[in-house]
A = this chain, B = another copy of it.
Amino acid sequence: MDIRSSSSCRQENLPPYIHKVGPPPKENLFKEFKNRVKETMFADDPFRSFKDQTMSRKFVLGLQAVFPILDWGRSYSLAKFRGDLTAGLTIASLCIPQDIGYSKLANLDPQYGLYSSFVPPLIYAFMGSSRDIAIGPVAVVSLLLGTMLRSEIDPTKNASDYRRLAFTATFFAGVTQATLGILRLGFLIDFLSHAAVVGFMGGAAITIALQQLKGFLGIKKFTRKTDIVSVMKSVWGSAHHGWNWETILIGTSFLAFLILAKAIGKKNKKFFWVPAIAPLISVILSTFFVYITHAEKKGVEIVRHIEKGINPPSANEIYFSGDYVLKGLKIGIVAGMIALTEAVAIGRTFASMKEYQLDGNREMVALGVMNIVGSMTSCYVATGSFSRSAVNFMAGCNTAVSNIVMSLVVFLTLEFITPLFEYTPNAILASIIISAVIGLIDYDAAILIWKIDKFDFIACMGAFLGVVFVSVEIGLLIAVAISFAKILLQVTRPRTAILGRVPRTNVYRNIQQYPEATKVPGVLIVRVDSAIYFSNSNYTRERILRLLMDEEEHLKAADLPRIEFLIVEMSPVTDIDTSGIHALEELLSSLQKRDIKLVLANPGRVVIDKLHASGFVTLIGEHKIFLTVADAVLTCSPKLPDV
């Protein structure tokens, strides 16, 4: 005997039980609206802990919400500090050479990179809720900022205006971040897809590495463009007289050392500190080497001068009026968004590894305030660094105290050690940056994306090639555009499927997915795989009619009985709007002219509600709406053979 629900029922001569699909319980309009807003803006329910508390307790909780340090600081212990100290010292040793290099990417003097590793991490430690993120300047944002600022002001000819615009952009980057957080619009950064970010980061890494060829090869005249074609022209053009062999020797040997250190760290997680301190060791060794050999006289470019002392105030340097305000705003918004994307991605990754909750919007406020304060203390845009956060995590950090430790080390460096960097060769900074950004190229992710989703891969490669062959901004634009196009395409051209009955069950599924499923004679079952909205209502209607026409042609050719019922499986139709209902009405009238009956299966809560409100249920007849496809088939085709 077959094991099947309805057929076994019928064999027992009982009438099949068909559950009715009535209108769902009415919801209060205001309540519905409130829920919708809550799910959109307050999806993480941030006020949960405030419920049923006294006023004073609410005040304390509010203060803790703005300054999480007041919360976790109370249970801070010496054991935790031990981890934080090690981690802080490790990331400090990594960040100092990186900062000096990254500030060059932003066309700023080396001390500005160090400034940005002093104030922002301190602010973040008080306001941020991630325990693992390491704050400071990062390669991609530095490059982006540098490119965008340079297209407005020439950094060599007009260094002071350039710097002022950099602070202005930093200020507005902070304002953007804080505003997004306060207005709880953090979800906007989700619109940059993972694939696009992978491509963008990879492209930016290559662009940054290419830029380093200037310092690495000791080229004096270098292009200002960042695309690969211009850079390679510049490099080959200067091959005969512009390369400096001493520089190349220093650069290559230390790059080999850094890459070896990385390999060691990768092979054995216990040696994570090897690649972390290798850059500082390289700096010390190469500086000492240049100092004793006076290689700078043989054309090896050196850092020369880093301003001593901590961050000077810069609030009065920010443009608040004039032409540059708008330009600063534009650059700030772009840099702020990219910085956010990076910081939030890092924060989320480590939070999910250590299983703690991270409030994205609160993070944005913290990052925003940190950059606003930074812009007033001579810092440029800081954010979470991929490489340093990973080191921080592996070094066993427990809280944001590791950022405070790092910040203090940078403070000491600024106060006492900067003169020692005078003889540091630029080639070593180039090597450090190259070895750092290599990690941003995520082959594995790209391969996985190719395997999973070809369209995602196009987005990924589009962003990558855009950055490498045109410019950072164009790459970013491509990434955003493709991400949006994907969403829009999905809602414009939803998939449809013809369903058949899976053998030995009462279940109806896509016959392309389950080739063993069989069609029911006289009935065409179509599933629409999307909400029916204005953007796809016409397409959906035409698509269903086309499926019907194809099927009819096929049946005629095979001399099989004609179709009498069209069942539309609505399970994936999560919503419908006025245009969608119009489309259903038009479908109904087209079917009536062909003498085919329209039947709906399993409309969801929102859909059935709207079908009732619009009167479509009355039009089609309440008895034509079923809980399942099986019920619908049972009623439409009672002569269904017992397959």
Contact = CB atoms under 8 A, between A and B. Distances in A.
Interface in A188-205: 190-195
A535 B627 contact: no
Interface in A477-510: 483, 486-495, 497, 502, 504-507, 509-510
Interface in A434-448: 445, 448
B43 A543 contact: yes
A539 interface: yes
B604 A574 contact: no
Contact of A590 (B355, B502, B512, B578): B355
Nearest to A579: B194
A539 B613 CA distance: 30
Contact of A578 (B4, B456, B579): B456
A505 B19 contact: yes
Interface residues of A, number: 97
Interface string A503-534: 01111011011110000000000000111011
A184 interface: no
A253 interface: no
A513 B604 contact: yes
Interface string A226-253: 0000000000000000000000000000
A244 to B, nearest CB: 44
A483 to B, nearest CB: 7
A577 B352 contact: no
Interface stretch (A9-17, A79-87, A159-167, A174-182): A9-17
Max count, chain B CB within 10 A of own CB: residue among A33, A492, A494: A492
A491 B490 contact: yes
Contacts of A44: 542
Interface in A448-488: 448-449, 451-454, 456, 483, 486-488
A608 interface: yes
A618 interface: no
Contact of A507 (B19, B546, B610): B19
Max count, chain B CB within 10 A of own CB: residue among A8, A14, A535: A535
A510 B605 contact: yes
Interface in A299-350: 348
A487 B535 contact: yes
A614 interface: yes
Contacts of A39: 493
Copies of this chain, whole number? 2
A578 B534 contact: no
A606 B5 contact: no
A223 to B, nearest CB: 30
Contacts of A194: 534, 577-579, 582
A538 interface: yes
Given A533-B486, A605-B510, A538 B348 contact: yes
B495 A606 contact: yes
A24 B509 contact: no
Contact of A502 (B33, B448, B507, B627): B627
Given A506-B5, A627-B505, A613 B451 contact: yes
Interface in A16-55: 16-17, 19, 24-25, 29, 32-33, 39-40, 43-45
Nearest to A509: B627
B190 A535 contact: yes
A187 interface: yes
Nearest to A503: B19
A571 interface: yes
Nearest to A457: B578
B491 A487 contact: yes
Contact of A605 (B497, B534, B593): B497
A512 B509 CA distance: 25
Given A16-B3, A19-B505, A190 B571 contact: no
A276 to B, nearest CB: 27
Given A5-B506, A33-B454, A605-B512, A490 B534 contact: no
Contact of A610 (B452, B493, B586): B452
Given A3-B14, A448-B614, A488-B487, A574 B493 contact: no
A581 interface: yes
A572 interface: yes
A538 to B, nearest CB: 6
Given A452-B613, A529-B604, A352 B590 contact: yes
A33 B187 CA distance: 31
A536 interface: yes
A19 B578 contact: no
B195 A534 contact: yes
B493 A40 contact: yes
A505 B631 CA distance: 11
B593 A453 contact: no
5 contacts: A25-B513, A33-B454, A190-B539, A355-B593, A487-B487
Interface of A: 3-6, 8-9, 14, 16-17, 19, 24-25, 29, 32-33, 39-40, 43-45, 187, 190-195, 348, 352, 355, 445, 448-449, 451-454, 456, 483, 486-495, 497, 502, 504-507, 509-510, 512-515, 529-531, 533-539, 542-543, 546, 571-572, 574-575, 577-579, 581-582, 586, 589-590, 593, 602, 604-606, 608, 610, 613-614, 627-628
The 4 nearest A-B residue pairs measured at CB: A5-B5, A193-B534, A513-B605, A529-B574
